[in-house]
Amino acid sequence: MRPSVQILVVNPNTTASMTETIAAAARLVAGAETDIVAVTSSMGPVSIEGYYDEALAVPGLLVEIATGERSGAQAAIIACFDDTGLDAARAMANIPVIGICEAALSTASFIAQRFTVVTTTERSRVPVEALVQRYGMAGRARVRAADIPVLALEDPASDAILKLRREIARALEEDRAEAIVLGCAGMADLAAELQQEFGVPVIDGVGAAVKQAEALIALGLSTSKRGAYASPLAKPYRGELKSFAPGTVAAE
């Protein structure tokens, strides 16, 4: 059967090997009629760790989403747990755009009263805590950092997975967590293994976002263009950002 649903998954950093991990996790849960189109940003940082990286990853992300929408994508997923550029992407695009943090937290809330997000570094923990508050989960979710540089997740010789396991064990013991949310798209391939090891639900935001994107497409729902996510007002942009003027992103 030929896929009839196309979901764009954008890795907003520029590390292609991480995109491969993300794509595999997305395809693992996608329905038979869903075509996962996974792309790597063509500009920006090799990993997103903190506010500076996040800000400079947004232009490349927007280009990929604009290009994907014109190529037929019916929904887009931002595969970074900071939900990098999510509001800007929702304002720009006419298709639903899902951030993996919001997707993971909402999924966790269906199956656990208390859960812990285990992310990478301390500088990443603080923005994720802000998202937990924004998404209304502050009373139910804790956020921990396992002291793992993002790119260490791509290195089999690193101790990243050991550190992740240790932090999950602490979350279960100290937070009394009933479920674990993996706080980095680069952890997407570890969810099933960790769930079996620790005996609690382990949520990967990539997989959660795929299923939510499929649901929105099936329901015929997209981002409201009234109010906060109204399309950007037409106006010229100058300098290096000239090509990002509303209606022209990725048009060249």
Which architecture characterizes domain 5-100+207-244 according to CATH?
3-Layer(aba) Sandwich (3.40)
Task: For residue 164, give the nearest of 137, 198, 133 by alpha carbon.
Answer: 198
Q: Report CA 174 to chain centroid distance, whole Å.
A: 27
| Residue 44 pLDDT greater than 90, yes or no | yes
pLDDT in the model for residue 238: 94
Q: Report CA 164 to chain centroid distance, whole Å.
A: 19
pLDDT in the model for residue 251: 44
Residue 222 CB partners (closer than 8 Å, separation 6+) = 94, 95, 96, 216
Q: Which fold has domain 101-204?
A: Rossmann fold (3.40.50)
Percent of the chain surpassing pLDDT 90: 89
Long-range contacts of 163-170, Cβ-Cβ distance < 8 Å, separation of 24 or more: 164/118, 164/190, 164/194, 165/194, 165/197, 167/118, 168/116, 168/118, 168/194, 168/198, 169/198, 170/144
Q: How would residue 250 be classed by pLDDT, with cut points 50, 70 and 90?
A: low
pLDDT digits (tens, 9 = 90+) for 158-171: 899 999 999 999 99
Report domain extents, the chain. Answer: 5-100+207-244, 101-204
pLDDT digits (tens, 9 = 90+) for 94-148: 999 999 999 999 999 999 999 999 999 999 999 999 999 999 999 999 999 999 9
pLDDT in the model for residue 155: 83
pLDDT in the model for residue 247: 83
Strand partners, 36: 7
Q: Report CA 11 to chain centroid distance, whole Å.
A: 8
pLDDT digits (tens, 9 = 90+) for 171-206: 999 999 999 999 999 899 999 999 999 999 999 999
> Which segment of 61-75, 209-223, 233-247 scores lowest on mean pLDDT?
233-247
* CA max distance for the chain: 54
Alpha-carbon distance of 229 to 93, in angstroms, equals: 9
Half-sphere exposure of 72 (CA within 13 A, CB side): 8
Per-residue tokens: 102:
């919001």
| Residue 252 pLDDT greater than 70, yes or no | no
| Residue 233 pLDDT greater than 90, yes or no | yes
Check for a shared fold between 5-100+207-244 and 101-204. yes
pLDDT in the model for residue 3: 62
38-42, 186-190, 233-237: range with highest mean pLDDT: 38-42
